[in-house]
Structure 1
Amino acid sequence: MTESELLIELKAGSEAAFRRFVETYQTRVFNLAFRLLGDRDEADDVAQEVFAEVYETIGQFRGEATFSTWLYRITTTQSLSHLRKKRTRKRFAFVTSLFGASNELLHDPPDTSQPEQALAQTEENQLLLRAVGQLPDTQRAAFTLHYMEGLSYKEVAAILQTTVSAVESLLHRAKRQLRTKLQPYYADVFNGN
């Protein structure tokens, strides 16, 4: 079955077509979500949200972009939204852990001046994934889509709903930040040795 035939059946509400769609794209959706989130359980949750959103909004797909671009856009948007919610929950939990019910300080804030010790002990891939995970959301998305998913600048621009030059700028800033973050671990590479 071709992608266009699958789309026609999906828009018609075929459950069998939706099952085929999930089987065909679940690995791609999960992998992108995992690369953006860095957590398998969260990526699985986001993948389920993506497929639910596709099921609910397939009728709105107008074909202005390729279907895979549309699917990547939904996955990226859901993943970044999940990250923002997670950060909000963490900040709230941190603040409430410092203050009691009467808003008095319960204990001193933890010392966050030390770098993650675990980061120095990880393998190269985990080191890179963590560094990518520290990038601002749009840089992380652009870097992941281009370098990890192998999409072109034009495809990344379509997914992020921006221009190719904006993608180039995002990637340039992401690489610069990654170089700074990873330089201590790869001093010989960055110093030309």
Structure 2
Amino acid sequence: MDQQELIVRLKKGDELAFKHIVETWQNMVYNTAIGIVQSAEDAEDIAQETFVQVYQSIHSFRNEAKLSTWIYRIVITKSLDHERKKKRKKRFAFVKSLFGEDEIHPPDFHHPGVVAEKKEQAGELFKALKQIPEKQRIAFTLHKLEGLSYQEVAEVLNTTLYATESLMQRAKNNLKRVLEKYYLENEK
């Protein structure tokens, strides 16, 4: 089934077309979400929300980009919204902790593509990703973790190829700086 047929069928409410979309892009959606939010449970929720929005918003899809690009944009938006909400909750929890009501504990990180012996290093990479600017983190996640080309990342981020290359270079430099600090501290 080609993209045009799929979209037409989706707009008519065809459940098989929707099932096809979920089966085709569920791993991409989940992996993108977990790359940003770094929590399996949250990534599953975001994936469900993403597909619900795809189903509900398909009428607004204008065929100006590939369907996959549109879905990437939705999952990124949902993931970033989730991160913003989580930061607000953490700030509130911190204020409560000042009054002795709750303690804050960071969750463990688990990504499906990381083998056991690499988990510590991957965990440090994902912690470092949290410390770089949002657009750099997204570009890095899409390119290095999802395997998108720079051109595809540019389409998802709705920017130029040059801007994407620049984002990736800044992301690599920032990650290198953060990770160097971690490894220097742990050598002692």
TM-score scaled by length of structure 1 = 0.79
Kindly tell me: are residues 5 and 97 of structure 1, through their superposed partners in 2, closer, same or farther at Cα, counting changes over 3 Å? same
Structure 1 or 2, whichever has the larger Rg, is 1
Native 8 Å contact 1:36 1:141 kept in 2: yes
Report how far residue 162 of structure 1 moved: 2.4
Q: 1:156 pairs with 153, 156, 168, which one?
A: 153
What are the within-5 Å matches in structure 2 for residues 10-159 of structure 1?
A: 10-99=10-99, 123-159=120-156
Question: In structure 1, the residue corresponding to 2:147 is in which secondary structure?
Answer: coil
| Structure 1: stretches of 5+ with no match in the other structure | 100-105, 111-115, 188-193
Match of 1:181 in 2: 178
Q: Supply the distance in 2 between the matched residues of 1:20 and 1:122 (Cα, whole angstroms).
A: 32
Kindly tell me: are residues 10 and 92 of structure 1, through their superposed partners in 2, closer, same or farther at Cα, counting changes over 3 Å? same
Question: In structure 2, the residue corresponding to 1:62 is in which secondary structure?
Answer: coil
Name which of structure 1's ranges 137-146 and 168-177 shifts more when overlaid on structure 2. Answer: 168-177
Q: Supply the distance in 2 between the matched residues of 1:122 and 1:3 (Cα, whole angstroms).
A: 37
Report how far residue 3 of structure 1 moved: 2.9
Native 8 Å contact 1:36 1:144 kept in 2: yes
Aligned length: 173
Q: Supply the distance in 1 between the matched residues of 2:42 and 2:95 (Cα, whole angstroms).
A: 23
Native 8 Å contact 1:22 1:51 kept in 2: yes
Native 8 Å contact 1:37 1:133 kept in 2: no
Question: In structure 1, the residue corresponding to 2:63 is in which secondary structure?
Answer: coil
Match of 2:114 in 1: none
Structure with the larger helix share: 2
Report how far residue 153 of structure 1 moved: 2.1
Report how far residue 39 of structure 1 moved: 0.5
Q: Percent identity?
A: 49
Deviations 1:55-89 (A, max 9, x none): 11101111111111111111111111111111111
Runs of 4+ off more than 6 Å? none
Q: CA RMSD in A?
A: 2.6
Q: Supply the distance in 2 between the matched residues of 1:13 and 1:87 (Cα, whole angstroms).
A: 36
